[in-house]
Structure 1
């Protein structure tokens, strides 16, 4: 029997108190994730306790670096199986969230999760980061852009910062030590109108798994030529 009660201290360490309904939503999300994972590759982590620690609590750890309790507008770029966007929506129902992913099968799964969990003001859309990053209503349309996607920070910055309003933030979730990567990305972050405001490194509760959150503040509008198309942010990152 999957039970979140053992994890109450970990949630409380983040100043998050879940209702019975929210706990039920997390468990339902886990069940839907594991069921769909049998037919498509969503996650290599499938054991309940590991999913809670490495996906759910990890996603929510953003509260260590920014206040998520207000009804702000959030874009989760390269959301994959819905991390961090869906855990954030469950824990903070007032958030207005868009989940963006380039694989339609994943988007269909996410929409099933949204329907099954009865979530509102959250939408999963299929598209490429560089295309939506130039669309009206999306470009500089979000208070926060988050991403747990596996890519260099200089690449992620080009994809993510264009979505953020001036004075908003791009929050990047990273594993382990990121100092070299951060140093390499400083030029790119500045070009796109951002500035590193805060770096927070920690271990996931009860583990030795190192995580780092990077808060990049948007200080000026992103030049219209960014993000570049044709996969250039990945192939030819600005360094």
Structure 2
């Protein structure tokens, strides 16, 4: 998994940070933990407690059940959901937290109680998994489709998550709202749209000095080049580029 992040500054103020990342690529070290939901969850670089593993199991069960009635994910096997969705979401945490601690100025790098909006949440990825792994965070799931929002509300209830809100609206509308513009410490997006479009959706939601993290495909370099103008216009620039390799 390759990850890159952005930062910027002007004469008058600190600018929002953009943090970009590729989707997690499943390796053999993850496949060997696919026997059960709890085993796969505990294999992550971000370990989960038994109670958190149970929450993940409840999520996966709900996802696969509802997926029979609506299109939530193309992955229909429990083991693949664990590796391609849950592990992928958890893989975001270490680089996100490193970048936040290094770049945050208003919070002194403190990760407790930060606010994160998952833009185009879909089936709740990565937002619901991050809410399980970091219960002190305040997570907002932004999804425009009412049917998917109904699933997200159900999943939040089943998983007994008290740190999640579901917002049913379009990102371009929410970004113009006084209630949400520049209101979040972190904006995250996974497999939603091309990066230059994502930047226009997500950066207006991020406070000055915050982060934007996006999960992309195997090679994001063309998207990054194509997005540079939009990113600059919106007041952000690249922070870093790193690669996280799967163990084999």
Matched residue, 1:237: none
**1:56 matched to 2:77:** no
Matched residue, 2:209: 167
**1:186 matched to 2:228:** yes
1:10-159 superposed matches below 5 A: 11=44, 14=45, 16-67=46-97, 69-159=111-201
Distance 1:118 1:175 in 2: 32
Tell me which of the two structures has the higher relative contact order, counting C-alpha pairs closer than 8 angstroms and 6 or more residues apart: 2
TM-score, normalization: structure 2?
0.77
Structure 2: gaps of 5 or more residues? 1-34, 101-110
> Measured at CA, do residues 203 and 167 of structure 1 come closer, stay the same or move farther in structure 2, by a change above 3 Å?
same
Q: What is the Cα deviation at residue 48 of structure 1?
A: 1.6
How big is the alpha-carbon RMSD for the aligned residues of Structure 1 and Structure 2? Answer: 1.6
TM-score, normalization: structure 1?
0.80
Structure 1: gaps of 5 or more residues? 207-239
Q: What is the Cα deviation at residue 205 of structure 1?
A: 5.6
Distance 2:177 2:134 in 1: 27
The CA deviation string for residues 160-189 of structure 1, in whole angstroms up to 9 with x for no partner, is 000000000110101101111111111110
Q: What is the Cα deviation at residue 137 of structure 1?
A: 2.1
The CA deviation string for residues 184-235 of structure 1, in whole angstroms up to 9 with x for no partner, is 11111000011111233335565xxxxxxxxxxxxxxxxxxxxxxxxxxxxx
User: Residue 109 of structure 1 aligns to a residue in which SS?
Assistant: helix
Tell me which stretches of 4 or more aligned residues in structure 1 moved more than 6 Å: none
Distance 1:200 1:139 in 2: 29
Matched residue, 1:202: 244
